[in-house]
Amino acid sequence: MVQILAFLCLLGSVLNAVPRNTVPSSEFHLDGDYLLGGLFDIHHVSSPHLHRPEAINCTSHSLILSSYRRFQLMRFAVEEINNSTSLLPNVSIGYILFDQCSDGHSFPSMFNLISVNGVIDPWGKPPKNLIGVIGGNTSPKTMSVAPLLMMNLIPMVIFYGASSSVFSEKKNYPSFLRTLPANKDVIEMFVRILKHFQWHWVAFLYDDNNYGDDGRELFIRKIQDSEICLAYTKGLDHQTDYPRIFRQINTLRVHVIIVFASEWTAEVLVGSAIQQNVTNKVWLAPDAWSLNRKLPKTKGIRDVGTVLGVAAPAMTIPGFSDFVHSAKAAALCENAEQDTFCNRVFNCSGLSAADIIDADPSFSFPVYAAVYSIAHALHNTLQCGAGRCNDKMTVLAELKKSNFTLFNQTIHFDENGDPNYGLYVVIFWNHNGDVQEVGYYEFYPPFHLVINSTEIQWHTNGKVPTSVCSQECPVGYKKKPEGIHRCCFTCEICQNGTFINITEDPYTCVSCTDAEWSAEGSTSCSLRVVEFVPFTDPGAVVIMVAAWVLVGLNLAVSVLFAINFNTPVVRSAGGPMCFLILICLTLSSLSVYFYFGQPTAASCILRFLPFLLFYIVCLACFVVRSFQIVCIFKIAAKLPKLYSWWMKYHGQWLVITVSFAIQALLLLIGYSYDPPKPFNETFWHRDKIVLGCDINLKATSTSVIFLLSLCFLCFIFSYMGKDLPKNYNEAKSITFCLLLFILTWIAFATVYLLYNGTYIQTLNALAIISSLYSFLMWYFIPKCLIIIFQPQRNTQQYFQGLIQSYTKTISQ
């Protein structure tokens, strides 16, 4: 900062020492009560790297006709205000205009503008009657002069063409305001256009300066969380190798190119594209060159593809054409004695009024609005009313509060000095070389983007071009990224039980919940059908009726055995033990009722507990009966002491009691560790939920093993008595019952391994009821038939005869 101030002081002294000539009246100067500064790049100079400051003669370089049109528009706006009786009455506005043809070579113009009597005093006051500066067609040009105007030298600045977002930072640019949308709004419009046409694979070429860098950073930030990928980006300057850029773009198969650059850079780029035979591209142009009048009529422009752009809507300013004709007639611009040192000269003898009027109208309304904004602010500052004005100067504060209507457009600024109004149109360069409006975008709520695609003459024979790295995946497929760009991917189908929601996350197959299912390649999940065996199911009804019949038969057998309790058949069947077996069979049948209906924690426990607990008693009884049969006929004679001890201590009841106690203890431990609980089976059936009970095999295995052990022990004892007297041999009946029991559960286990449907619960209940019926039908019912239909075989004499006959047989 110290170096800048010292440089300003030194240069101011030099300027003060230079003799000042009187400048004749010209297009660049107009006297008035208050002055406006104006900076217009009427000529363009490429700015090579400099090692020292230089002044430059702008007139020797190429003319920018659109900027000269804006130059004339400012002069017209000032004249219009001076002729107004309602705005600034009795106050005249003058101007001092400069040709800012270069980013870094036009400082003499600025120093001349901010000097007082040829002297620049950084600590002094600015020129009293200089109320603002209008200018800066580009961000780089604005960046070069804005710091000089922000050091409390100039009270306010209105820039009509500087769109870089850096100027919105009020800490660095406190008096900066502008009348065109900032870069962020133009980039937002570009992104919406890309999304509208689903162009996801784009290149971004930009001016290698703060304007282009700002646009590139905003674009990258804006597409960060979108489907748009930046395939290629490159800064452009006077040394750019355009053929290499186009080769790289073609290699990447990019079909949409955003050119965020000035009009002279765009002219060079597009000209190179035509020369390099670049074809079938979509070019997106910002407002800096979208209304260029030269390029749409360039030979070969149709071969490069389709050019779309964004721009301020075309607006006819009444009276401007007449002003240009009158200014041309006055021939002020042909004065050869103008100030060339400060670039306040332009020989327009080669231009007609029509050339100026028909030039590129870009930024016309922003220039017009900038002049009127300062005029309205000055009007409010001077408190002009009743034909007179005060002399109190607070123009900047009033400018920030601007709120007036211009051509049905309300002009006002936000807290950053950016315009809080307006819309841009979407334009298309048609085959006639004209600019055609095909849509619009509102910068402020509700942010509508409207594009009539049918009016665009696409280079792809009427079809909207595509620009993607990878083609979109079919429905039901997820994207698997390849490389660093999310737009480049392969497609993988979503498996069963998952789905893809491309609106939320096209890269992940989301798992369905346990209550849902989906087929392969699904985009949503469907609710699973919940299945269980209800009490009304025919199979359930049959089994429950069979259980009630079992209870009835047990009761009938118990009554019959009670009536004939002292008969040999009942005594040989087990006597009192028969009633215990029948009671336990009845209690075991309770399990089958809990296999139907929706499972609960209680029903899951009661499915297994009654059967495992009471069926063990039945098996223990038959173990005792089998052992007693073998003992009586085979062991009593050989081991009389064992038989005596067995009879003395009621060994049969001791075995039954111990077996029941062991099983009860095992079930208590197992159920305490992990009791059976409701379980939703979803593995075997993708489209439904089978409600069942989950059993911890570790927790219940000991009780099941104990039951099987008693079963095989009983089978061994009963098999040992297979050759006992035929009519007195309960061992054979027991063996057959156990055989049926074993075969039943083997069959159930086989089905359980092969079938996992809803009716596995019914089959489990059927296996239980079959196990109970095997003992009832093949052990008790035959004895009931003897008691009822063959009473002669139910006598003491008959049984003694059988025993004597068997004793004789084994003694021989």
Name the residue ranges covered by the structural domains of the chain: 26-45+61-180+361-408, 183-313+423-451, 477-527, 538-811
pLDDT of residue 341 exceeding 60, the answer is: no
| Unique residue bearing structure tokens 């601007």 | 402
Average pLDDT, the chain: 84
39 and 141 in contact (C-beta within 8 Å)? yes
pLDDT of residue 19 exceeding 50, the answer is: no
478 and 191 in contact (C-beta within 8 Å)? no
Which sign, positive or negative, has the C-alpha torsion 642, 643, 646, 647? negative
562 or 700: which leads in pLDDT = 562
Section 124-143 average pLDDT: 74
573 or 635: which leads in pLDDT = 573
DSSP H or E stretch at residue 694: strand 688-694
Min mean pLDDT across 161-170, 410-419, 741-750 is at 161-170
Tell me how far the alpha carbon of residue 448 is from its chain's centroid.
Answer: 23
| Unique residue bearing structure tokens 């790297």 | 49
DSSP H or E stretch at residue 566: none
Write out pLDDT tens, residues 566-602: 888 888 888 899 999 999 999 999 999 999 999 999 9
pLDDT value for 100? 80
pLDDT of residue 730 exceeding 90, the answer is: no
476 and 500 in contact (C-beta within 8 Å)? yes
Q: Are strands 62-63 and 43-44 parallel, antiparallel or unpaired?
A: antiparallel
Section 491-509 average pLDDT: 91
pLDDT of residue 355 exceeding 80, the answer is: yes
Q: What SS3 class is residue 31?
A: coil
Section 301-324 average pLDDT: 92
pLDDT value for 104? 59
* pLDDT band with cut points at 50, 70 and 90 for residue 2: very low
Q: Residues 327-334: contacts with CB within 8 Å, 24+ apart?
A: 327/27, 327/72, 327/75, 328/352, 328/353, 328/356, 332/25, 332/26, 332/27, 333/26, 333/27
Task: Take residue 558 and report the two structure tokens written for it.
Answer: 């118990």
First CA to last CA distance, the chain: 135
667 and 612 in contact (C-beta within 8 Å)? yes
φ, ψ at 159 (rounded to 5°): -110, 130
439 and 425 in contact (C-beta within 8 Å)? yes
pLDDT of residue 301 exceeding 50, the answer is: yes
Q: What is the DSSP letter of 117?
A: T
pLDDT value for 6? 36
How buried is residue 765: exposed, middle or buried, by Cβ count under 10 Å (0-12/13-18/19+)?
Answer: buried
DSSP H or E stretch at residue 795: none
C-alpha neighbours within 13 Å on the C-beta side of residue 243: 3
pLDDT of residue 750 exceeding 80, the answer is: yes
DSSP per-residue string spanning 444-491: STT--EEE-GGGS--TTTTSPP---SSPPPPTTEEEEE-SS-TTSEEE
pLDDT value for 387? 59
pLDDT of residue 114 exceeding 80, the answer is: no
C-alpha neighbours within 13 Å on the C-beta side of residue 593: 12
Between the CA of residue 146 and those of 44, 166, 176, 364, what are the distances in Å? Answer: 19, 12, 8, 21
Q: What SS3 class is residue 44?
A: strand
Write out pLDDT tens, residues 242-254: 999 999 999 999 9
- Amino acid identity of residue 569, one-letter, is V
382 and 390 in contact (C-beta within 8 Å)? yes
pLDDT value for 285? 96
Section 170-191 average pLDDT: 89
* pLDDT band with cut points at 50, 70 and 90 for residue 796: confident
How buried is residue 714: exposed, middle or buried, by Cβ count under 10 Å (0-12/13-18/19+)?
Answer: buried
The reply to whether domains 26-45+61-180+361-408 and 183-313+423-451 share a CATH topology is yes
Q: What is the CA radius of gyration of the chain?
A: 52
DSSP H or E stretch at residue 758: none
| Unique residue bearing structure tokens 């800066």 | 136
DSSP H or E stretch at residue 148: helix 139-150
Q: Which CATH superfamily is domain 183-313+423-451 in?
A: Response regulator (3.40.50.2300)
pLDDT of residue 543 exceeding 50, the answer is: yes
* pLDDT band with cut points at 50, 70 and 90 for residue 11: very low
Section 727-733 average pLDDT: 64
| Unique residue bearing structure tokens 């498996």 | 495
Provide, for the chain, the percentages of residues in helix, strand and coil under a 3-state DSSP scheme, each rounded to the nearest 5.
50, 15, 35
pLDDT of residue 7 exceeding 50, the answer is: no
Task: Take residue 219 and report the two structure tokens written for it.
Answer: 């674009």
DSSP H or E stretch at residue 435: strand 435-442
Task: Take residue 436 and report the two structure tokens written for it.
Answer: 């055609």
Task: Take residue 178 and report the two structure tokens written for it.
Answer: 């502008």
pLDDT value for 140? 73
20 and 117 in contact (C-beta within 8 Å)? no
Second CATH level (architecture) for the domain 538-811: Up-down Bundle (1.20)
pLDDT of residue 198 exceeding 90, the answer is: yes
783 and 777 in contact (C-beta within 8 Å)? no
- Does the domain formed by 26-45+61-180+361-408 have CATH 3.40.50.2300? yes
43 and 64 in contact (C-beta within 8 Å)? yes
pLDDT value for 4? 42
Write out pLDDT tens, residues 31-84: 999 999 888 888 877 655 555 656 677 777 778 888 889 999 999 999 999 999
CA–CA gap between residue 734 and residue 719 (Å, rounded): 9
Q: Residues 3-6: contacts with CB within 8 Å, 24+ apart?
A: 4/147, 5/122
pLDDT of residue 609 exceeding 80, the answer is: yes
* pLDDT band with cut points at 50, 70 and 90 for residue 698: confident
Task: Take residue 563 and report the two structure tokens written for it.
Answer: 């009536």
pLDDT of residue 646 exceeding 60, the answer is: yes
* pLDDT band with cut points at 50, 70 and 90 for residue 340: very low
Task: Take residue 684 and report the two structure tokens written for it.
Answer: 């075997």
Between the CA of residue 283 and those of 199, 203, 279, 798, what are the distances in Å? Answer: 12, 10, 11, 116
- Amino acid identity of residue 720, one-letter, is M
* pLDDT band with cut points at 50, 70 and 90 for residue 121: low
* pLDDT band with cut points at 50, 70 and 90 for residue 16: very low
Q: Cα–Cα–Cα angle for 635, 637, 641, nearest 5°?
A: 75
149 or 426: which leads in pLDDT = 426
pLDDT value for 25? 54
